[in-house]
Amino acid sequence: MSAGSAALLAGLRKEMAAVADPTKAPAMQAYMKSSMPYHGVTLPQVTSICKRVFAASPVGCKAWRTAVLEIWRGAKFREERYAAVFLLSAKPYADCLTLDMMPVLEEMIVTGAWWDHVDELSQVVGTLLRAHPKEMRPVMRAWSTDPNMWKRRVSIICQLRFKRDTDLRLLYANIEANTSDREFFIRKAIGWALRQYAWTDPQEVSRYVREHEAELSGLSRREALKNIDSSLSPPRARERKAAGASRRA
């Protein structure tokens, strides 16, 4: 590990140890089903610590890239990996986030392999997709059929913040590459991506669910239609919702 990264990681550990609550750590580890232990530091505390430590030692883009990866690899507690993700997406280094960071992101996604890491990293991938659509679209298409489930999840949810800039052709292609997958995190991702776009265009999401109702899982359909007015929902979805209400009455 480089001297700069070692100093940053030592600073993070010192500050986290000062506010850690070891009595909370086992429950945090159990909730996240993590093999890596926790310090027992809350996420707001992690954010505050990261702001102080990283602001005190600004670096150039090359050292930033090295620090992100070395803090990630050198982490002994899960909060330290949260710090690596924080540094990766920190505003002062926005100009450092270029396409050559994709191997770093891929490593973090594959080795992170759980939703708390992957979902945050997916939005960094989304930032690159927005900035470099020509180069990133084929990468996301390839990830949508990758053997690694977490890369497939990223290909589906990387546009969550795009709103009207959402590339529907890409979103639908990546969804349709995974509709037969029975994995919970893939089915949830499909529903989440559609539900998020429904805030922008509920009619379009309703149309899509109606036309693909046979292929979409029940979980994906329910998530997709959760915030859509019942009058826009596909008929079968309205019937199921009405039946559920009748049983509860």
pTM here is 0.89
Quickly count: other Cβ atoms within 10 Å of residue 28's Cβ: 19
Give the C-alpha separation, 108 to 73, whole Å: 9
pLDDT band, residue 5 (cuts 50/70/90): confident
- Tell me the CA distances in angstroms from 193 to 47, 52, 130, 172, 189, one per residue in order: 26, 34, 16, 10, 6
Would 73 be classed as within a structural domain?
A: yes
Would 63 be classed as within a structural domain?
A: yes
Provide mean pLDDT across the span 188-204. 98
Closest by alpha carbon to 185, among 119, 106, 123?
119
Would 210 be classed as within a structural domain?
A: no
| Domain region containing 56 | 1-18+37-94
153-183 pLDDT, tens per residue? 999 999 999 999 999 999 999 999 999 999 9
pLDDT of residue 229: 75
Would 82 be classed as within a structural domain?
A: yes
pLDDT band, residue 137 (cuts 50/70/90): very high
pLDDT of residue 249: 44
Mean pLDDT of the chain: 92
Number of domains in the chain: 1
Would 70 be classed as within a structural domain?
A: yes
Provide mean pLDDT across the span 35-60. 95
Would 229 be classed as within a structural domain?
A: no
Would 46 be classed as within a structural domain?
A: yes
pLDDT of residue 130: 98
